[in-house]
Amino acid sequence: MGAELNGQPPDLCTPGDGGLCITCGDVAVPVRVVQVRGTEAVVEDEAGRRETVACDFVPDARVGDILLVHAGIAIGRAGTAEGKVEGDR
Amino acid sequence: MKYVDEFRNPELIQKTAEEIRRVVDPNRHYRIMEVCGGHTFSIYRFGLQNLLPDNIELVHGPGCPVCVLPMGRMDEGLSIAERPEVIFTAFGDVMRVPGRRGTPLELKARGADVRMVYSPLDALKLALDNPDRQVVFFAIGFETTAPSTALTLLRARSLGVRNFTVFCNHVLILPAIRAILESPDMRLDGFIGPGHVSTVIGARSYEFIPRQYGKPVVISGFEPLDLLQSILMLVRQLREGRAEVENQYTRVVSWEGNRGALQAMAEVFEVRPFFEWRGLGFISQSALKLRPEFVEWDAEVRFGVQGVRVADPKAAQCGEVLKGVLKPFQCKLFGKECTPEHPVGALMVSSEGACAAYYHHVYLRQAAGS
């Protein structure tokens, strides 16, 4: 449920070591939707890592949308399909 | 990646920095607070202060939820974590925050079942997978994070999960900004508004700042060009004698915010009469607690949390740094007793804390260059 990044748990946050707190701070990650399954979406970040996130708060999310994800949950969108994610296949 | 690369374009960054130098009034000093810890991190990481004229001073605000959490709340969370029936879950940022008897990681080393989660939904899943254990999620964060806790609690209720509770430490950014504006030593000229909190609460929420306090606000993204554009917009407002809410981060932030997220928060949480912020003291109406309808999922109720108050180490000057009165390096403990490896004050714990960000991106570089 969001914790799996290519089957691996995320690294332990290492403050100051390039490990910006993505969970509890005011930071959200832009990701591209590759699949929508009910209230969940499979998304891909710029490094090509995929995870499943809840998209209850962005109920009209579609494949290709760029969503902002924070703590495993989409909190908004950052645009639509023209956003190209590095690692696109 | 679109929405990232173009906001790190060196030519555009240089051009914007030149425009700031052109617009700025050389005869005045500008004190601009970036409220959000994510902005603080970006400013240090990209060395943005070096691109600005000397008379623009960036002041780091209270927008790091780890940094403003009082030690008493940490101690209370850790006392729950020590119970044998409990699986204690928290975000990675929390794992190194010291209570009086150590950090969650140290507690884990002593045998407590402490686990890092990326999302509160992962904690709920742990509860479903471990029906004979009590799973507690240590919730922390501003309005960016509170919707994820709300959604998790709504799911816990609809699934009838009885072995899951939340220890709620969610705080609200607007009362903190108001407290800073009301502070007698307030000398700020304008605010860089938080980007992703605003995704949830909307740009409209900041209107009280220009209306009641006459200070401009520009909501900003996190890339170098975002921040420079926001500073330019603030300087223009000040130069033209305007005080308005402007939204630089229009690709993400709307005027109204995320209605679904706000509804979920309203259904699950109510505002506490007051809450203590580390360094800022008690601020009224500044934090969230679970509504009585969610009492079954409230760790404070289930584990009888007393409300302990623990004074910060006296020598640490986190409060002055949080309010922008002191710079991190002006604290007596900075780089000596207080380092990211052995933090004394909370601002040194999280990478979004002003002191840790300064330590890694300025202090160490200067030390290496000397």
Q: How far is B28 from chain A (nearest CA, A)?
A: 31
For the beta carbon of residue A88, count every other beta carbon within 10 angstroms: 11
pLDDT of residue B3: 52
Q: How far is A27 from chain B (nearest CA, A)?
A: 6
Which chain B residue's Cα is nearest to A77? Answer: B252
pLDDT of residue B207: 98
Q: Rounded CA gap, B157 and B153, in Å? A: 6
Judge contact between A79 and A85, C-beta under 8 A: no
Task: Look at residue A84 and tell me whether its pLDDT is greater than 50.
Answer: no
Task: Dump pLDDT digits (tens) for A49-64.
Answer: 899 999 999 999 999 9
Which chain A residue's Cα is nearest to B199? Answer: A76
Pick the residue with more confidence: A2 or B339? B339
Task: Look at residue A86 and tell me whether its pLDDT is greater than 50.
Answer: no
Among the partner-chain residues A15, A70, A73, the one whose CB lies closest to the CB of B356 is A15
Task: Look at residue A16 and tell me whether its pLDDT is greater than 60.
Answer: no
Residue A25 binned pLDDT confidence (cut-offs 50, 70, 90): low
Cα-Cα-Cα-Cα torsion A22, A23, A24, A29, nearest 10 degrees, comes to 50
Task: Look at residue A21 and tell me whether its pLDDT is greater than 70.
Answer: no
- Cα A11-B114-B291 angle, rounded to 5 deg: 105
Task: Identify residue A81 by its one-letter amino acid code.
Answer: A
pLDDT of residue B258: 96
Q: Which two tokens stand for residue B170?
A: 């969610």
Q: Where does residue B158 rank: exposed (0-12), middle (13-18), buried (19+ CB within 10 A)?
A: exposed
Chain B residues with beta carbon closer than 8 angstroms to that of A60? none
Task: Dump pLDDT digits (tens) for B39-75.
Answer: 888 888 888 989 999 999 998 888 778 888 888 999 9
Which chain B residue's Cα is nearest to A3? Answer: B118
pLDDT of residue B355: 87
Q: Rounded CA gap, A22 and A13, in Å? A: 8
Q: How far is A33 from chain B (nearest CA, A)?
A: 14
Q: Of A49, A46, A83, A78, give the one whose Cα is nearest residue A64.
A: A83
Q: Please answer yes or no on whether A71 and B120 come within 8 Å at the CB atom.
A: yes
What interface predicted TM-score (ipTM) does this complex get?
A: 0.82
pLDDT of residue A23: 53
Among the partner-chain residues B3, B93, B121, the one whose CB lies closest to the CB of A21 is B93
Q: Please answer yes or no on whether A26 and B91 come within 8 Å at the CB atom.
A: no
Pick the residue with more confidence: B315 or A68? A68
Q: What is the mean pLDDT of residues A12-32?
A: 58
Choose the mutation target among A14, A17, A21 for the interface with B, i.e. most B CBs under 10 Å: A21
Q: Rounded CA gap, B222 and B92, in Å? A: 21
pLDDT of residue B5: 66
* Regions of chain B where pLDDT drops below 70: 1-6, 312-314, 351-352, 369-370
> What are the b/e assignments for B161-189, b being 16+ CB within 10 Å?
bebbbbbbbbbbbbbbbbbbbeeeebebb
pLDDT of residue B362: 80
pLDDT of residue B101: 83
pLDDT of residue B97: 83
**A61: helix, coil or strand?**
coil
pLDDT of residue A9: 32
Chain A residues with beta carbon closer than 8 angstroms to that of B148? 54, 70-73, 75
